[in-house]
Amino acid sequence: MKKLKQISIFILLGYLAMYSTIWLHELGHAMVYHHFDCKENVFDVTVPFHFGNANPYPIDWEQAKSLTLKQDFYVSIAGVGMNIVLGLLSWLVLFNFGKKMRSNWLGFFVTTFSIAHFAEACSYLTLSNVYAVSDMIGVQAYNSAVQIPLFLVGLVLVYVLTFLIKDAKVEWRRGLTFYSLISILMMGGLRYYFTYLNV
């Protein structure tokens, strides 16, 4: 019974880390939309409990249609930018306090929070970049040559993600590996579905 309770807490913390990661990703888009006067309430974003079709809406569509390709690029890349910044910040917290945090629930949450941010960024900059879906369509429309350095950044983030898992508590590593792989595949699949198949 104690083991089941621990597993349930791990699953809940992993879900909360992923939900907050996706919400913060959408907040990144919302902040740039707000900057371009396309959105009033920057914190009003849509993130369903199943993560599918998460977006920064509602926005002023008439104003959004008047954005230049460069402005649309900024909106498109803002979510991944938010993931990279918050992934790095949470990694710094782990780097500075990780030894003390390794055996508690807060440490597990910060670890999964950092992994979720890097997994989100990796999936965008690699999988969704090769076959442009979702936010990467705006990147490609602005300048397809930008995809190459973004893909390379994605590969570096794969290394960072691997390092984070290897540096985690031994008992957590297998679960964190599955967590990151499932996150990357699920996010990539949902993006493809809601971009091309959800007609």
Beta-carbon contacts of residue 42 (< 8 Å; ≥ 6 apart): 27, 30, 31, 33, 34
99: left (phi over 0), alpha (psi -120 to 50) or beta: alpha
On the CB side of 194, CA atoms within 13 Å amount to 15
Q: What is the per-residue pLDDT for 185?
A: 87
Question: Total domain count for the chain?
Answer: 1
163 and 180 in contact (C-beta within 8 Å)? Answer: no
Domain coverage including residue 166 = 2-197
The model's pTM is 0.92
Segments in the chain below pLDDT 50: 199
* Coil, helix or strand at residue 17: helix
Q: What is the per-residue pLDDT for 28?
A: 98
Q: What is the per-residue pLDDT for 98?
A: 66
Q: What is the per-residue pLDDT for 197?
A: 75
- Which residues does residue 46 pair with via DSSP β-bridges, in sequence order? 55
The residue count of the chain comes to 199
Q: What is the pLDDT of residues 169-195, one digit of tens each?
A: 888 999 999 999 998 888 888 888 887
Q: Is 138 exposed, middle or buried (0-12, 13-18, 19+ CB in 10 A)?
A: buried
Q: What is the per-residue pLDDT for 198?
A: 65
Q: What is the per-residue pLDDT for 15?
A: 95
